[in-house]
Amino acid sequence: MKNRKLLVSILAGFMAFVMLFGLIIGVLPSRVNAASSGAIKEQLNELEKDKEKLQAEIQALEDQLSENMGKMEEVVAQKNLIDQEVFLLHEQVKTINEQISAYSILIADKQDELVEAESKLAELNEKNKERIRAMEENGSLSYWSVLFQANSFSDLLDRLNMVQEIAASDNKRMQEMSAAAKVVSDAKEELETEKEALETSREELAETEKTLEQKRVEADALLVELVATGQEFEDLLDQSEDEQAELLLEIAKKEKEYDKAKHEEWLATSVPTPTYKPSTSIPSSTGWITPCSYVAFTSPFGYRVHPISGTYKMHYGVDLAGPTGTPIYAAKSGRVSTASYDGSAGYYVEIVHEDGFASIYMHMTHYIVSSGDYVSQGQVIGYMGSTGGSTGPHLHFGISYNGVYVNPANYINI
């Protein structure tokens, strides 16, 4: 009988050892696989280096884009000047063409005048020749006929004067017509010379216009190239900025992991993680203040149906609801052990007091203290919010004593 009891005891002890060993093995992987704060810090440092490198690349792209924009502005300004010059040249060529047309009309008019003058001169000259031939044929033009036909000496003189006057008149008219013809001819030649000069100017302007047109084509091509290059820079810049945004998200994630790892390491080496245990004795509530003003006491300490998961579980504190941004005060003086973020608690602060107590403040919009700070009772440590696992703005306030959560209602006025 004794041997049987001994065997049962040994088997029971062995089974207890196996169960305990299984629990230990079940816990060990999570501890081994969990990254330490040092390892996460190294990852953060590498990510910071990547961020600096990416920022330098973004800055270089921005500088290149700015330089490219400067070149584009210069080309646009140059192109505008060329366009203005081409326009002015078009106007000059147009004006010269109009002047050439006017000169052509003037030259045509002068040609008509010249033809008319030359025609009159030829007609006058022909008539003079005919009169002279007729007088010669009739024999009435010789001085002898004039002398012999004269009735008297006075008649002779009259006849001689008449012949001289006729000849002088014909010569004068011939000279005047010749002079008029020369004036018209000279004017025509001058107009033709000026027209030729205008033709030369028009040809020179046309060559200049071709050169400017070529420059404008080159400027247009360069502008298109610069626009394409600028688009490439903008695409690369957008890509780099997207990479930077992803990197910043990764850094933020790692920072949360780092804060959580530091908190877990601190809990493992200093204050035990508070757990709920029934307490037979409640310490004195002397020295505590209500951590915030509130409009509703929405959830007490103890078991309840969780508002998010819907499961029946322990609530290790009290919930005090109020407007977002309501100041949160240290309920008692002490040193901040944790100021971090957790997916369930949101932004939270834990304060360790000198008498075995600790207090925790969860779901803040943000905190304004850091781990290691000493805070006085009533000092603002953060502001009421709804971060983490929360259905609305409120403060989850918890108190622990020697690592055991206790009902905060026994220490503050609610």
Which domain CATH number covers 343? Answer: 2.70.70.10
Identify the pLDDT of residue 338. Answer: 95
| Residues lower than pLDDT 70 in the chain | 1-34, 79, 110, 121, 127-150, 152-153, 156, 159, 163, 166-167, 170, 256, 259, 262-286
Q: Can you give the pLDDT at residue 144?
A: 56
pLDDT of 155-198, one tens digit each?
767 767 776 776 677 677 777 777 777 777 787 788 788 878 88
Domain limits for position 174:
51-246
Asked if 336 and 375 sit in the same domain, the reply is: yes
Predicted local confidence at residue 137, as pLDDT:
56
Nearest to 333 by CA among 380, 376, 372: 376
Q: Mark whether 128 and 202 lie in a shared domain.
A: yes
Question: Do 218 and 84 belong together in one domain?
Answer: yes
Are 220 and 125 in the same domain?
Answer: yes
Residue 242 shares a structural domain with residue 290: no
Q: Which of 246, 267, 301 is the last residue of a domain?
A: 246
pLDDT tens, residue by residue, 249-288:
788 777 767 767 766 666 565 444 444 444 444 444 468 9
Q: What is the pLDDT of residue 246?
A: 83
- Residue 271 domain flag: no
Is the domain of 148 the same as that of 234? yes
CB 393 within 8 A of CB 328: no
Report the number of distinct structural domains present in the chain: 2
Of 225, 246, 267, the residue that ends a domain is: 246
- The reported pLDDT for the residue numbered 328 is 97
Question: Which CATH number goes with the domain that contains 222?
Answer: 1.10.287.2610
Indicate whether 286 and 150 sit together in one domain: no
pLDDT value of position 412:
93
Q: Examine the domain organization and report whether 193 and 284 are in the same domain.
A: no
